[in-house]
Structure 1
Amino acid sequence: MKDTQYTEDFTSDYFKEVLTIFFDALPDPIFVINQNGLILSVLGGSSHKVNCFPNVRESQYLHDTLPLEVADKCLHTINKAIEDESLICIDYEVEKKYLSPEFCSNQFYQGRIFPLKQYKSDLRAVLWIAINTTEKVLFTKKLNELAINDELTGINNRRYFNEVMKRTFDMFQRDKVSFCILMLDIDFFKKVNDSYGHDGGDALLKSLACTLKESLRDIDFLARYGGEEFIALLPNTEKSDAFIVAQRVRLAVEKSIVQHGTQKIRVTMSIGGGEISPGDKDYESVIKRADVALYEAKNSGRNKVVIA
């Protein structure tokens, strides 16, 4: 076959068929949308029905398809791309109720918007590629959660607590606003594991994490420090107030009952506290004082509060 025949084919229905197959094979839908938000074309086959919106049709407006806030944002981006004559990307979330029944949760998308040249007297339009980024977004969120939260209890972890402490210490050096640290340790936790197994110990830790959060103030910052030990930052707090907070926490733990199967677990907690001092060179100094106070609370009978 001659080369000229190929040229003729690619300017005819043959080329249209190639384009149709190409668009049908793409994992993400492509829309042609004008500057008023009117959907001129939906390119692609059945894939867009399970990857995007179930009722997207030509001659619809974005505001007929998307939530008002998302549609406004998208329309603004379309006109920005046309004005700048450049590619623009936009990330947006679409609620489940606007999506195909196959989806059991909200979906996240990245729109890649390419301005098209004006055709005759028609309004300007763009090519909009809607890339589903839900898996990537949720994976990133999960990584972020793991970076700051304790996997078992769901509260902040030691690593993130130390980051917060660095910022808090820097603020103290600048503003001289006092803060306290509480070290909280479950009394005789080994006996819990021996009596109820590690499942019982885990159930206790999760339950006490909730008890501690409820007993502390809204401004306080709680984390699991390791094993059966918790730590709390009390911002803008002096020793006298820290003692009151610690006593409230201790009593709440003493009164709490953790149901584990048919068994009930009851424990007490020893608490040591320390206040920042102008002579401290780092936040670790406060934690060490709180740890020494905790050791004193343990040695003097447990289920006590000692503030250094």
Structure 2
Amino acid sequence: MINVEHMAPILEALPDPVFILSRSGKYVAVFGGRDKRYYHDGTGLIGQYISALIKPEKANWFLEQIDRALASRNLLVEEYELSNHDVKGLSDHGPKEPIWFEGRIQALDFMVDGEEVVLWVASNISERHNLEVQLRELSDTDQLTGLFNRRKLEHDLTLHYESFTRYGVPTSILIFDLDNLKKINDTKGHHAGDEMILAVADTCRSTLRKTDTACRFGGDEFVLALPNTEREQALQFARRLHEQLREELSRFSVESTLATASIGIATMHLEDHSYEDTLKRADRALYKAKGMGKNRIVFA
């Protein structure tokens, strides 16, 4: 049977660090953290306050979690990141990647110096987090081009439609495909088709903003989601993209068969019941562009 005197060495042997924190963010006690791969000695934290060590935004987040745990009296489990940018007094020359933790926070049934306290267990989950990010990227990415796939597009368009209906934030959708791809494949071989698709992907990456989504929708068809973009802005972007695609694809042209792109555009309307309505209008505009002789832009 374990005696009370055995508890201290047991707590000290814990691989993950365990903190007792007061409501005001004071480090009352620190135990464990013996896995030297991830943790440094934390005993120097005792008596200090989170707000004195961590920059305000992150410190406020920690204090909010302490308040939540004390109010609910239930176990809270939260994932969070910490980097050198979050800690006061550190230079910006530390590790570029943040460290990810899983925090388990539980209110305790006693007080210290007149303050309520919580138990906070911090586990380094950086390896797991990075693996999850990689798996998520694989599930959202087209294998040939590295662009997003239809699954990711549908997720993003759902969010953009909600932003449009709730806050009036406009989103435009471009659909385009490659003109005369089959004839070029028949002449140059299917490897030429893959090279054309890769060239399109590179053009998209160099043209789009970070907030935009570029998706290979299937075969040689691509869809671009442009949040916070009105009709005229979408047209200007489409003209610029069309010209860049014309220049990039020209090297694949064969005699009288030109490698070009046709583009259809639509912007979300109040009449749209979902993002699918906008997408269908852009698709109809694309087919109209193809029917009018290809190598052109049509706005729905």
Instruction: Report the TM range for the smaller structure's normalisation.
Output: 0.5 to 0.7
Aligned positions of 1:151-170 closer than 5 A: 151-162=143-154
User: What's the CA shift for 1:289?
Assistant: 2.3
Aligned positions of 1:285-300 closer than 5 A: 285-296=280-291, 300=293
Aligned positions of 1:1-308 closer than 5 A: 10-11=3-4, 13=5, 15-16=6-7, 20-21=9-10, 23-24=12-13, 26-44=14-32, 46-47=34-35, 49-52=36-39, 57-61=44-48, 62-82=50-70, 85-96=73-84, 105-118=97-110, 123-146=115-138, 148-162=140-154, 182-189=174-181, 191=184, 194=189, 200-201=195-196, 203-211=198-206, 213=208, 222-232=214-224, 237=231, 246-256=238-248, 268-273=259-264, 283=277, 285-296=280-291, 300=293, 302-305=294-297
CA distance in 2 between counterparts of 1:245 and 1:72 reads 41
Task: Give aligned pairs, total.
Answer: 279
Conserved? CA contact 1:294–1:306, under 8 Å? yes
Q: Name the CA shift for 1:200/1:27 in 2 (closer, same or farther; >3 Å).
A: farther
CA distance in 2 between counterparts of 1:236 and 1:279 reads 16
User: What's the CA shift for 1:128?
Assistant: 1.5
Residue by residue over 1:118-167, the C-alpha shift from the partner in whole angstroms, topping out at 9 and shown as x without a partner, is 36855443321112333444444445545555455454433344566678
- Larger mean Cα displacement after TM superposition, 185-194 or 276-285: 276-285
CA distance in 2 between counterparts of 1:233 and 1:76 reads 35
Conserved? CA contact 2:197–2:220, under 8 Å? no
Q: Name the CA shift for 1:120/1:73 in 2 (closer, same or farther; >3 Å).
A: closer
Root-mean-square deviation over aligned CA pairs: 5.0
Structure with higher Rg: it is 1
Which secondary structure does the structure 2 equivalent of 1:116 belong to? strand
Which secondary structure does the structure 2 equivalent of 1:37 belong to? coil
Gaps of 5+ in 2: none
Q: Name the CA shift for 1:133/1:167 in 2 (closer, same or farther; >3 Å).
A: closer
Q: Name the CA shift for 1:183/1:194 in 2 (closer, same or farther; >3 Å).
A: same
CA distance in 1 between counterparts of 2:295 and 2:68 reads 64
Gaps of 5+ in 1: 1-5, 259-263
Q: Name the CA shift for 1:171/1:92 in 2 (closer, same or farther; >3 Å).
A: closer
User: What's the CA shift for 1:226?
Assistant: 1.8
What amino acid maps onto 1:186 in structure 2?
A: L
CA distance in 1 between counterparts of 2:62 and 2:239 reads 53
Q: Name the CA shift for 1:137/1:70 in 2 (closer, same or farther; >3 Å).
A: same
Conserved? CA contact 1:153–1:209, under 8 Å? no
Which secondary structure does the structure 1 equivalent of 2:201 belong to? helix
Q: What is the TM-score with the length of structure 1 in the denominator?
A: 0.63
Q: Name the CA shift for 1:180/1:43 in 2 (closer, same or farther; >3 Å).
A: closer
CA distance in 2 between counterparts of 1:96 and 1:116 reads 30
What amino acid maps onto 1:208 in structure 2?
A: T
Which secondary structure does the structure 1 equivalent of 2:151 belong to? helix
Conserved? CA contact 2:23–2:117, under 8 Å? yes
Q: Name the CA shift for 1:105/1:54 in 2 (closer, same or farther; >3 Å).
A: farther
Residue by residue over 1:248-294, the C-alpha shift from the partner in whole angstroms, topping out at 9 and shown as x without a partner, is 33222223489xxxxx8788423143669999997365355234324
